[in-house]
Structure 1
Amino acid sequence: MPALASCSDTVPAAGVAAANAAAADTRDLPAVDVPAPAPTAITLTPNGKVESRELVTLGVPFPEGELGDAGLVRVLDGDGNEVPAFVRPTLRWHWKDDSIRAVKVQFEADPRASYRFDISRPRTRSMDERPVDEGTRPGKLDAPVPRVLATLDPAWLVRSGIAGPQLVHDRSRAYDRYIDAQWAWAEDAPYVGAHAFLFDRASVIGLQYVRSGRPDRFAEFYNSATFYLSKIKRGGNGGGWPDCTGGWEFDGVNACDPKYSYVTPHLLLTALAGDDTRLDATTVAHMADNQFKGGWSTPMGPYTGGGQAWTERQVGLGLEHLVSSFELTGSSQTRRRILDIVGWLHDHQQSPPGGEAATGAWTHSWQAHEGADYDAATDVRGASPWMSANLVGGLWRAWLVTGDERIPVMLRDFGRYIEQHGFVPDDLAGNWRSTCNAGGTIGWYFSSGLAPRERIVGIQDSEGWGSDAHNPELLMVVAAARHFDTDPEWRETFSRRAERLAKYLNRECAAVSHTPRAFNWQNRNPEFTWLLAQ
C-alpha cells in the first residue's frame, strides 16, 4: 500500500557526520543480556524451513532529523559489499522537521549470512518493490509471519524514538526480569476464547521488541499484529454508529465496541517490519472516526457531570488510538480531535462541572462507570486508579506529538491525587493484596477524594481483591507525575511510592497470569523506566 503520510524521498535533514556520531552514541546505552552486534546490524533468524535465498522485508526507524534522503540507505553484506535493495520512506517526523522516521527495506538474502544497513553514502544498487507476502508463511490462525525474521539492535531501536523515550532491556532491572518471567505464559496466549487482544496485545509486544531486539518477541509481535489487523471491519459506509467500519470483529466482539479498536499495531508493523500492506488510508481514517464518533459508547465529548457514562479507559485508549493515527497520517482533523480531548480532560479535572470540588482526579460516577442505574443519593463520586493509568498513557503520548502545556499539569495533579487518595492504607492492604505482593502497596479499585472511606471499602470488598495486579501500570502514573512535578518534596514522595509499587515486580507475581490480557494492561507503558531514571 502507498505510504499514508506524505513521503517524498528527500527533505533537508542532518548530515552524514551527525548520523555517524549518533550511531556511536548507542555504545553508552545500558547493556543487554544478549550479545550486542554493531548498532546497524540486521540479524536474520530463519523462522521455519527456508531456502538458500529469501526475500527479506524490514523496517528501519530513524531519530528525528537524522535521515532526509532515503537514497542514502544501503544494505551491506558481511564483507561490506552493497546488496541490491528497495528502500522507501513509510513514516515521517511530520510534527517535527518532516525528516524520515522509518523506511521500508527489501532485499534478497542468504538467511544464514550477516548484513547491516548504512547511510554514509548514496545507494548504488537497487531492486523493485515486491509483495511483502512473498517472504511470509502462515503463522498462528494462518496470519502471515516472516519466513526470515529481520531484527535490529535494541540500542538502535530505542535511540530511534519510534516508541517514545525508552530504556534498552537490562536484566539488572527488576521490570525486565519481570517481563522475561511473564513471557513464559504470555508468548503463547491463545488468540481465541479470552479476548487476549484487549488492551492491544500486538503493540505491547512490539514495544518489548523495541526494548530487547529479541527475535522471538518480534515474531510474536508480527503474528499478533497481522492477525489483529486482519479482523478490522472494512468496506462499509464509514466509522461510527451504526456502521462502525474500522472496528474489530472477532470471537464475539462487535465492530461497534471501541475498546477493541487500535491503529497502533499498524504503525509499529510499518515502522519495525516494513509491512505497510495490512491497512489502507481509508480504513485508518474510518478507525479514527469510529473511535471519536462512538459505536456502542457515546461520541467523544466534554464531561458534563451527574450520571454521564464515562470511563478513563475509553477516553485514554481512544486518545492513544488517535495519536497513532496522527503519527501515521499527519491528518489535521485528527490532530484537532486530539487537542479537543486534551481540552475536555483539562476542564474536567481542573474545573469539574456542577461546582464539584477539584481533587486532581477526573471525578465521575461509580454507578455510571459500572453501567448501573444512576442515583445521586447513593452514588460514589471518584475515579479508578488503574483505569486512569490508561488515560495517563494516552496523555503522555499526546504530549510527545503536541507538546500541549495542559498535559504536564494534568499528569502532575493526578499523581498528587493518587498519592493522597488512590492507595489502600497499609493497615487495610492485607485484606485485598495478592499473596505474591507481601508488604507491597495496593491501589483502591475505585477511589475518591469526596466520598466516605466506608463506601470505598465496600467497593473494594466487592471488586478489588488482587487489584495490585495493576501496580505495573500505576508505575506509569507515578513516573509521569514525578517527571513533570517541580516540587522536590513531591518528587521524593513519588520516588518512594514507585519503590513500593515495584515490589510487585517479582517472579511470583510475574507467574500469575490472571487472564491473557493482564500482560497487555500491565505493559502498555514501559517508558516508566525511562521516566524514573531521569
Structure 2
Amino acid sequence: MAQKRCPSAGRGARLVASCLLLLASGTAFAAEPFLAPAQPSGSIVVKLYPTESVAPGVAKLVTLGVPFPRGSVTVAGLANVRVLKSGSEVAAWVEQLTPWRHTTNPALDGQSVRVARVQIQYTFAVTYPSFETVTVEWGLTSRTQSRPSFTNPRTAWHLVTSGSYVAADGVYEPDVYAVLPPDHLAEGVLKLTRMDAFDPGVAEARDDPYAMDAVEHWPGFEEQQHAAKNNSFTLVNEDDPRVAAKNYCPYKTDYEPWLYDRAASLYVLYFRSGFFKALREAVRAGDFYDNHLDANGRFDLNPTDLKYSYNECLAYSHWLTGDDNPRAKIPLVVNSLASFPSRWSPSLGFWTERHAAFKLLANVVAYEVLGDAYKAGLQTIYGDYIWHQNGADGQIPSPRVDGGLYHTGAQHSEGTRKAYLASPWMSVLLVDAMLRTYAVSEDVSVASFIKRMGNFEKTATRADTAYQYDNYSGPLWYADYLTRYDGTIDMRSRQYMEEHALEVGAATAWAGYFAAVLGTPDPVLTQRATDLYFTYDIGVNYWIRPDAPASGLAAYRVSPWRKYGWEHRPSAALSWAMANQQ
C-alpha cells in the first residue's frame, strides 16, 4: 500500500472547523433557511449531450425539466422563460410540470412552479461524447418564439445497447440528455434538501485507485464526493475492464442491489456533480426499475417484499426528462405500501423503521407530484410517527431516551424479543423521509422529530476498536445495531455497523441543524456527526484495492451492493447541514 498523505484543508474542512470553533466559543450566526431563497430572475447554462445515434446536422427533439426554488416563477411567469443559443432565442414549448406544494399554507400551495417542462428542436454540430450549450433564462424578457404543441418525449428516445445494457433488457433513454449545473440542482429543488455541489477538483472520470488509496484524508467532505463517484462505476460494472463477469453487480437478475433505491441514489450523485455519466446511468436505472414494477407496485425481482417499492426515482425521472411514464406508476407504489401500518401497536406482528420510512417516502413523493389526493394520507402517516416518538400514549416504557421509535425485538425480527428497542441505522431512513415532509409542510413538529431523533442517535453512537478496518488502530465512533429504550446496547454490531457511519452522521447533522433552528443548538450533535464522518473516511480507504483488477476483482469495492444506496442517497446534504449547526 502506498504511503498515505493528507492534502491541505479545503472549503469543506474549513466549514466544519469553523462550525466547531463557533460552537465552542459561543459565537452566534444564523443557520441558513431550509429551503433556498426565491430567484425571481436568472439563467442557467444547460449542456446538451447527443448520444451515439445522433448525427450532426439533423434536428432532434430535446425535452428537459427545469426546477426552480420556491416562489421564483409563477405559471404566468412561464411566459418569460426563454431558451437561448448564442444569445438568440430558440422556439420552445414551456409548461408547468409540477407546482410547489404546501400542506398547510394556501399562500404557498400551488402558487409557484417547482418544475417547468421545456421542449425544443436542436441541431448539433458535434457528436458524442461532446456537448453543446444553451441558456435557459427566466424572469427577464418575454418569450417571442414558442413551439405550437407538446410532443411525447418518448418519440425521441431509443433502445439502450451500450454500457452494461443490451437490447433484451428493454431499457430506453433520450436521444439527447440535458445536463443542468450542479449549483442549481444542489439548491434542494428536487431532493428537497440543500446540498453542496461537488468540489471543482472532483473530475467526472473514474479516479486512479492508486492515487485515491494514497490519500487517507481528503479535505472537508471530498472523501465522500470521490467515493460516491468512484463506487458508482463499480455499481454499473465499469470499474475496470479486467474485472471478471462473475464479479459484476448482478442488478438485472438479483433484487439486492436495488434496496434503498439504486436509481434514486444515482440521481443524487447527479444532483451534486452535474455529471452526464451520473445522469445517464440514473435515467437508465430508472427506466429498468419502472419496467420491473408490476401492477401492484412491487419490484418483480422480489414481488413479495414491499421494501423494494420506491417512487423517489420515478419522480426524478419524470422531472428531469419530462417523461410521463414514471408518473403513472407513483400511485401503484403508494398502494403497495398501504398494508404496512403507520400506527404502531405492541400487538403488531412486524414493524421496523425501514418499512415505516419507505411508506412515508412513497406518500410524500406522491403528494409532491400528484397533489391533494395524497395530502391527508401523508399527514396521518407522519402524525402517527410523531405520536409513536411521544411514547404511543404510554405504551412504551418510561423513563426512556427521547427520540427513538421503540418497538419490540420480536417485531423487528432481531434482537431481544421482549425488549423495547430501536434501530439507529434504520432511523436514518425515517429522518430522510421526514426531511422531505418538512419541506412541504414546514411543520415545527416535524423539525422537532428530526432533532429528537438526533438525541437517540447520539446516545446510540459509541467509540470502540471492534471494527473491521485494518488501516486504523484507534477507537472509532459508530452506532449500535439495536439500542434499547433506556440507552443500553441490545446488539452492538452486526454486519459491521461502522459501515453505516456516513448516513448516521448525516441524520445526526440534520438533528444539529434543527436544534439550531429551534433555538437549542447542541454541540454534541455536531461533534458526533464529525466523529461519524471520520469513521466513514477511514472506511473508504479500507475498501479500495488498487491491485485487485489483476485478479478479476473491482478496485473500488462495493459490498454488499445495497451499501451504495444506504450510504449515499440519504447523506448527500451532510456537508450543508454541518455548515449550518448554529
Structure 1 residue 423 corresponds to structure 2 residue 472: no
Structure 1 residue 474 corresponds to structure 2 residue 495: no
Q: Is the 8 A contact 2:235 2:561 kept in 1?
A: yes
Distance 2:388 2:498 in 1: 27
Amino acid at match of 1:76: L
Structure 1 residue 147 corresponds to structure 2 residue 202: no
- Which of 286, 303, 312 is residue 344 of structure 2 equivalent to? 303
For residue 10 of structure 1, what is the aligned residue in structure 2?
none
Structure 1 residue 517 corresponds to structure 2 residue 562: yes
Classify the secondary structure of the residue corresponding to 1:108: strand
- Which of 76, 79, 102 is residue 71 of structure 1 equivalent to? 79
Give the number of aligned pairs: 465
Amino acid at match of 1:320: L
What is the Cα deviation at residue 515 of structure 1? 1.9
- Which of 34, 49, 52 is residue 53 of structure 2 equivalent to? 49
- Higher mean alpha-carbon deviation, 87-96 vs 188-197, is at 188-197
Distance of aligned partners of 1:470 and 1:193 in 2 relative to their CA distance in 1, 3 Å threshold:
farther
Amino acid at match of 1:405: V
- Which of 246, 253, 258 is residue 297 of structure 2 equivalent to? 246
Distance 2:426 2:542 in 1: 20
Distance of aligned partners of 1:437 and 1:412 in 2 relative to their CA distance in 1, 3 Å threshold:
farther
Describe how 1:286-325 pairs up with structure 2 within 5 A. Answer: 286-291=332-337, 293-294=338-339, 299-305=340-346, 308-325=349-366
Q: Is the 8 A contact 1:307 1:365 kept in 2?
A: no
For residue 393 of structure 1, what is the aligned residue in structure 2?
432
Structure 1 residue 370 corresponds to structure 2 residue 413: yes
Structure 1 residue 350 corresponds to structure 2 residue 390: yes
What is the Cα deviation at residue 488 of structure 1? 9.0
- Which of 200, 203, 206 is residue 267 of structure 2 equivalent to? 206
What is the Cα deviation at residue 521 of structure 1? 0.9
Q: Is the 8 A contact 1:45 1:150 kept in 2?
A: yes
Describe how 1:427-442 pairs up with structure 2 within 5 A. Answer: 429-435=464-470, 438-439=473-474, 440-442=476-478
Distance 2:348 2:467 in 1: 29
Distance 2:487 2:79 in 1: 62
Distance of aligned partners of 1:509 and 1:473 in 2 relative to their CA distance in 1, 3 Å threshold:
farther
Amino acid at match of 1:430: T
Classify the secondary structure of the residue corresponding to 1:505: helix
Q: Is the 8 A contact 2:401 2:456 kept in 1?
A: yes
What is the Cα deviation at residue 356 of structure 1? 1.2
What is the Cα deviation at residue 48 of structure 1? 1.5
After the TM superposition, list the runs of 4 or more consecutive aligned residues in structure 1 that deviate by more than 4 angstroms. 486-490
- Which of 268, 274, 280 is residue 316 of structure 2 equivalent to? 268
- Which of 520, 526, 537 is residue 505 of structure 1 equivalent to? 537
Distance of aligned partners of 1:159 and 1:456 in 2 relative to their CA distance in 1, 3 Å threshold:
closer
Describe how 1:211-226 pairs up with structure 2 within 5 A. Answer: 211-226=272-287
- Higher mean alpha-carbon deviation, 218-227 vs 51-60, is at 51-60
Classify the secondary structure of the residue corresponding to 2:40: helix
Structure 1 residue 284 corresponds to structure 2 residue 330: yes
What is the Cα deviation at residue 509 of structure 1? 4.5
What is the Cα deviation at residue 490 of structure 1? 6.3
TM-score of the aligned structures, taking structure 2 as reference length: 0.75
What is the Cα deviation at residue 276 of structure 1? 2.4
Classify the secondary structure of the residue corresponding to 2:479: coil
Greater relative contact order: 1 or 2 (C-alpha under 8 angstroms, separation 6 or more)? 2
CA deviation string 1:392-451 (max 9, x = no partner) = 11112111111222222222222112212x124x3xx32234335654222111112338
Distance 1:81 1:368 in 2: 63
Q: Is the 8 A contact 2:84 2:136 kept in 1?
A: yes
Distance 1:449 1:45 in 2: 53
Q: Is the 8 A contact 1:55 1:106 kept in 2?
A: yes
- Which of 97, 108, 112 is residue 121 of structure 2 equivalent to? 108
Q: Is the 8 A contact 1:259 1:317 kept in 2?
A: yes
TM-score of the aligned structures, taking structure 1 as reference length: 0.81
Distance of aligned partners of 1:371 and 1:508 in 2 relative to their CA distance in 1, 3 Å threshold:
closer
- Higher mean alpha-carbon deviation, 223-232 vs 350-359, is at 350-359
Distance of aligned partners of 1:448 and 1:490 in 2 relative to their CA distance in 1, 3 Å threshold:
farther
Distance 1:142 1:246 in 2: 19
Amino acid at match of 2:142: P
Describe how 1:14-25 pairs up with structure 2 within 5 A. Answer: 19-20=40-41, 23=42
Q: Is the 8 A contact 1:74 1:82 kept in 2?
A: yes
C-alpha RMSD over aligned residues: 2.5
Q: Is the 8 A contact 1:381 1:451 kept in 2?
A: no
Distance of aligned partners of 1:407 and 1:134 in 2 relative to their CA distance in 1, 3 Å threshold:
same
The percent of aligned pairs where both chains have the same amino acid is 22
- Which of 63, 68, 74 is residue 62 of structure 1 equivalent to? 68
- Which of 435, 456, 479 is residue 491 of structure 2 equivalent to? 456
Structure 1 residue 446 corresponds to structure 2 residue 446: no
What is the Cα deviation at residue 143 of structure 1? 0.9
Amino acid at match of 2:85: D
For residue 195 of structure 2, what is the aligned residue in structure 1?
166
For residue 495 of structure 1, what is the aligned residue in structure 2?
526
Classify the secondary structure of the residue corresponding to 2:395: helix
For residue 336 of structure 1, what is the aligned residue in structure 2?
376
CA deviation string 1:323-367 (max 9, x = no partner) = 1100001124x2222221222212222224435123221111122
Amino acid at match of 2:537: L
Distance 1:306 1:418 in 2: 26
Distance of aligned partners of 1:233 and 1:331 in 2 relative to their CA distance in 1, 3 Å threshold:
farther
What is the Cα deviation at residue 114 of structure 1? 2.8
Structure 2: stretches of 5+ with no match in the other structure: 1-37, 103-107, 127-131, 203-218, 238-248, 544-555
Distance of aligned partners of 1:51 and 1:260 in 2 relative to their CA distance in 1, 3 Å threshold:
same
Q: Is the 8 A contact 1:104 1:275 kept in 2?
A: no
Structure 1: stretches of 5+ with no match in the other structure: 1-16, 24-38, 235-244
Distance 1:56 1:115 in 2: 11
For residue 237 of structure 1, what is the aligned residue in structure 2?
none
Amino acid at match of 1:167: D
Structure 1 residue 133 corresponds to structure 2 residue 179: no
